[in-house]
Amino acid sequence: MDKPVLDPIKLEILWNGLRSITDETFAALTRSAYSTNIKERRDHSTAIMDRSGRLVVQASQALPIHIASMSGLMACLLRKFGDAINEGDIFVANDPHTAGGTHLPDVNMACPVFADRQLVGFVCNIAHHADIGGIAPGSMAGGMSEIFQEGLRIPVIRLFRKGELQQDIMDLLLLNVRIPEERRGDYFAQIAACRLGSQRLREVLDEYTVGFVLSAFDQIIWRTEQRLRQVIAEAPDGVYRFEDVMDSDGIDTFDIPIRLTLSIKQDTVHFDFSGTAQQTPGNINVTMNATQASACYALKALLDPDVPNNEGILRVVEINAPKGTLLNASFPAPVAARAHTCQRIVDVVFGALAQALPERVVAAANGANTTAVFAGIDPRSGRHYLYLETLGGGIGGRPAKDGKDGVQAHITNTSNLPVEAIEMEYPLLVEEYSLVTDSGGAGEFRGGMGLRRVVRPVDHRCTFNGVGERFKHQPWGLQGGQAGASGRFLIRESNGETRRLDDKPAEVIVSAEQAIIVETPGAGGYGAPRNRSREKIMLDRISGKFSDAYIEEHYRRQPHHE
C-alpha cells in the first residue's frame, strides 16, 4: 500500500532526533546502572514504540535479540490495559509465556508519552539483570526443567501509577533476588532512562505537531519495509534448506536438530522450521518472538546491515515454527539459555542463504552465548556477590577477510568484561585471559578464535555454574573452510591437574586452591586452506595464535598461493 510522503528533510531531521533519544537513554542506563553486566558489558537496549506497539527506532548499540522482547511486551501491555494507560505510568514485565519476554533475566520497562491529552507512543528499555531469583545464582544455569525454577515471573504490571512508585511491587521484586541492592540500582537506572526518554520525546512533540509525528512513525516503518523488500527482490528466488544441531538441553536430550526450509519469492522471505525438534526438558527452548528476532537479524545482516531495526523488518518475514517445538515453546517450558539456540538459528539461516548468496555469507561463528556465573560470600565484606558474564568467541571466516577473534557474535553485541572490573568488583582473581590457540578453523580466510579465562576465588569458596554450546558440535566452515574448535569448561585442581566439567554444569563448588577454566568456541574457516597466502600463514605463526603443528597439518601439506 502506498503511503503519503512527508517532507523528506523534516522527516530526516525528526528521524535523527528519535535516534538520538534512544542513544542518549542507552548511555544514561549504562552510566547509572549498578551491575557490571549493564554498566560494563552493556547488556541492555532502549527504543521508541508508537501507540499501537510497533517498534519505531532502537538505539544504535541495542541488542538485536531485544527487538523481540520489546515488541512482545507492547502487545501484551496494550491487550491487558487498553485505554487504562495514564501519563506517569511505568510498566514492568519479563515473563516469556504471559508478557512477551524471551527469558526472565531480561526485564522490560515501558513509559507512555502523551501530548494534547492523547497517547503518542512509549519509550522502552530492557536490561539483563545478573540475577532474577530461581534455584541457581544468575538464573541461567543448565539443568532447570520448568520456567518456575528460573526465577521471578513478572506479568505486565504498573511499577509507577500516575508518577507514583508502587512500593509494594518494588518490595516484591527485590525480595525474590539474591543481591537486592544491586537489583534496585539497576531498576532505578531503567526508570531514569524511561523518564529521560519521555522528557526528550515531549520536547520533540513541542517542536512538531502530534499529527506530523504520528505520520512520521508510519513513514519510518513503511520506508524500512520497502527498503528491505527491494533488496530481497534482488536475491535469487528459490527454496534453500539447511539444518544444524544443538549439543544438548542440559538434562537428557542430545544432538537436537533445527531444520529450516527458506523460500525467497519476489520481495518476501518465508522461514519454515517444520521438522525441528520438540521443545526440550532443559532450558534451551525459545519463544516465537525470539525466533522471529533471530531470523530477522540474519536476513538484515546479509542483505542490508544498515537498514533500521523496526517493525518494517518484521513485516517482510513470514515464519512457521510449530507450537510446542524448540523454536516455539509452550508453557511451562524453561527458556533461560535461549540465546544459545538463537545463535544456532542464525547459523541455520546463514547456511541456507549460503546457497543463494555465497559471496555474502560467513562461516559459522562460535554459535553460543557461553555463560559463566560465580557466586558466594565476599570475605572482604561478608556480603553476597554474584558475577555473571556471557563470553565472546570466534566469528566465521568471510569471503574476503579472516574472522574476528574473541568477540560477541550475531544476536548479541555485549562486550567482554575487563579483568580490572572483575577483580575490583568481586573477590576473584583472573589468572589468564587469552585467545585459545589453534581454535580458528583453517581456510583461505581463517575463522575467529575463542576466548580463555582462568578464574580463581580469593580466600573463600564459591559456586560456579555455566552453559556452553558448540562444546560438542564444532562451528562449520564454508566453501572448503574447516571447522573451528569446540569450547569447554574445566576445573584445575590444587595439584595443577585439570578435569573437564559438564557442558552445562548446574553447581560446581570451587575452593580457593582451585580455578575454573572457560574456553569458548572458535569459528569456521572460509575457502580452501590451500589458497591461504604465505603472508597470512607467516602472520599466523608469528602472532602465536596458531602452533607450528597446526600450521603443518592444515597448510604445509598442500601447495598454496603467494
Report the predicted TM-score, pTM, of the whole model to 2 decimal places. Answer: 0.95
What strands lie across the sheet with 268-272, from one edge to the other?
Answer: 238-248, 254-265, 268-272, 317-320
DSSP summary character for residue 115: E
**How far apart, in whole angstroms, are the C-alpha atoms of residue 124 and residue 195?**
10
Are 537 and 560 in contact by the 8 Å Cβ rule? The answer is: yes
What's the pLDDT band for 5 if we cut at 50, 70, 90? Answer: low
User: What mean pLDDT do residues 421-440 have?
Assistant: 97
**How far apart, in whole angstroms, are the C-alpha atoms of residue 486 and residue 479?**
20
SS3 231: helix
Is the link from the previous residue into 332 a cis peptide, with omega within 30 of 0?
yes
Terminal C-alpha separation, the chain = 54
State which amino acid sits at residue 234.
Answer: E
- pLDDT of 9-30, one tens digit each? 999 999 999 999 999 999 999 9
In the beta sheet, which residues pair with residue 114?
119
What's the pLDDT band for 557 if we cut at 50, 70, 90? Answer: low
**What integer best gives the mean pLDDT of the chain?**
95
Q: Which domains occur in the chain, in start order? A: 8-225 (3.30.450), 365-562 (no CATH)
What's the pLDDT band for 560 if we cut at 50, 70, 90? Answer: very low
- By residue count, the chain amounts to 562
- pLDDT of 480-519, one tens digit each? 999 999 999 999 999 999 999 999 999 999 999 999 999 9
**How far apart, in whole angstroms, are the C-alpha atoms of residue 249 and residue 266?**
38
- pLDDT of 104-143, one tens digit each? 999 999 999 999 999 999 999 999 999 999 999 999 999 8
Query: Picking from 5-19, 151-165, 347-361, which range would have the lowest pLDDT averaged per residue?
Result: 5-19
Q: How far is CA 179 from the centre of its chain?
A: 23
Q: What percent of the chain shows pLDDT beyond 90?
A: 92
Query: Picking from 22-26, 219-223, 313-317, which range would have the lowest pLDDT averaged per residue?
Result: 313-317
Burial of residue 235 (number of CB atoms within 10 Å: 0-12, 13-18, 19+): middle
C-alpha cell at 381: 565484606
Task: Give the count of beta carbons closer than 10 Å to the beta carbon of residue 480.
Answer: 15
**How far apart, in whole angstroms, are the C-alpha atoms of residue 345 and residue 393?**
17
Angle among Cα 225, 231, 236 to the nearest 5 degrees reads 130
CA-nearest of 448, 438, 441, 504 to 474 is: 441
Angle among Cα 498, 417, 365 to the nearest 5 degrees reads 75
**How far apart, in whole angstroms, are the C-alpha atoms of residue 205 and residue 184?**
31
Helix (DSSP H) and strand (DSSP E) numbers for the chain: 12, 20
In the beta sheet, which residues pair with residue 318?
270
